[in-house]
Amino acid sequence: MDFNHTEDRRMISDSLRRYLSEQYDNEFRNKIAYEAPFHAPDKWSELAELGILGALVSEDQGGFGGQGFDIAVVFEELGRGLCAEPMLGNLLALRLYAAFGQSDRVDAIIAGTERAALAIFETDAFVALDEITMTADGDTLSGRKSVVYGGNSADHILVAAKTAAGTYGLYEVAASDAEVLGYAMIDGGGAAEIVLDKTPAKLIAEDAEDAINAALDAGRLALCAEAVGVMDYLRDIVKDYLMQRQQFGRPIAMFQALQHRLVDFSIEIEQARSIVILAASKLEAEDRALHIARAKNLIGRAGKLVAEEAIQMHGGIGMTWEYAPSHYAKRLTMIDAQLGDTEDQLRTVMDLMAA
């Protein structure tokens, strides 16, 4: 099997890596990631101009990519650059708008003139769609949605709610009509609580369960690829640090114990990369959910190890705000929690295997 990317994907990867290294360094990122709007709107527009958003949906839906490998290429570079832009929330919304033929919204998001987010989780329903309690009342919605990624800066919010018929419908709400309580996540970047009180809502699809689950799996794949980019960066910076730090008159990279630890977590990264490649190849397959859950479970475990080892091998400096590894390690921890953590994914694998 040929694991090399196509020329188009290499171009996207190279241009995105170059852009983030030049325009989105650690100091800039931390300056904007923790203060409203928790990202840089001008950088979002520039990413759209680079065509990054267009890579997330297929050509017949208005983009030029949309396959698992397109998503993986984009998010791996976003992870390497520790980008705080609301890409995950817009990916979820884009996939759903595209699935239901909302071409005007797709075109606007790809162009960077609008942003959107998917509101699905509730206080007691963080992972499973069948735990949702919000029910539509005609053409209005009432209730609260929690941890809406990118919801703080979205123009439109897609809301998953039960219809009168008992199906899981998809509704669109204008952000200006809702109460949006934005905040920075623990690792930077924005999310929001969305409060609806008889808020006008447009029905996009009366039965959107399959499409929502497919979009969430695309989001999980994106997070897995992002984690690989984060881990790659941490490996590189740890190697550089071990070569520069001197003890007893020689670089600490010469100590065999540290060499073994670096090899161990390098192996974990390559295993993570391999399972992301497999998951990306299965995004449109019937057994998509099983492969995505397996990948995110392994990514969660590998990410924990890599984050801990990177901090420990740096010593005290690895915990400081000014030094990038602390923020990358924090991001790895957050990735595990998003869209279902290691334990949630293990339960999913067990359920699917038993079915």
What's the pLDDT tens digit per position in 78-135? 999 999 999 999 999 999 999 999 999 999 999 999 999 999 999 876 666 778 889 9
Cβ atoms within 10 Å, residue 180: 18
Which pTM value belongs to this model?
A: 0.96
Cβ atoms within 10 Å, residue 50: 16
Give the tens place of pLDDT for each residue, 227-257: 999 999 999 999 988 888 877 777 777 788 8
- Residue 231: the pLDDT is 97
- Residue 314: the pLDDT is 86
Q: Are 344 and 352 in contact (CB under 8 A)?
A: no
- Considering the four listed CATH numbers 3.30.420.40, 1.10.540.10, 2.60.40.1890, 1.10.3720.10, the one that applies to the domain covering 7-111 is 1.10.540.10
User: Which parts of the chain have pLDDT scores under 70?
Assistant: 1-3, 125-128
Cβ atoms within 10 Å, residue 27: 9
CATH architecture of 210-354: Up-down Bundle (1.20)
Distance CA 63, CA 14 (A): 19
**CATH number of the domain at 116-208, please?**
2.40.110.10
Distance CA 222, CA 217 (A): 9
The percent of residues in the chain predicted with pLDDT above 90, rounded, is 80
- Residue 242: the pLDDT is 83
Structure-token pair, residue 209: 């369960």
Q: Are 336 and 300 in contact (CB under 8 A)?
A: yes
Q: Are 221 and 283 in contact (CB under 8 A)?
A: yes
Distance CA 340, CA 330 (A): 17
- Residue 126: the pLDDT is 63
- Residue 125: the pLDDT is 62
Domain layout of the chain by residue ranges: 7-111, 116-208, 210-354
- Residue 7: the pLDDT is 82
- Residue 299: the pLDDT is 97
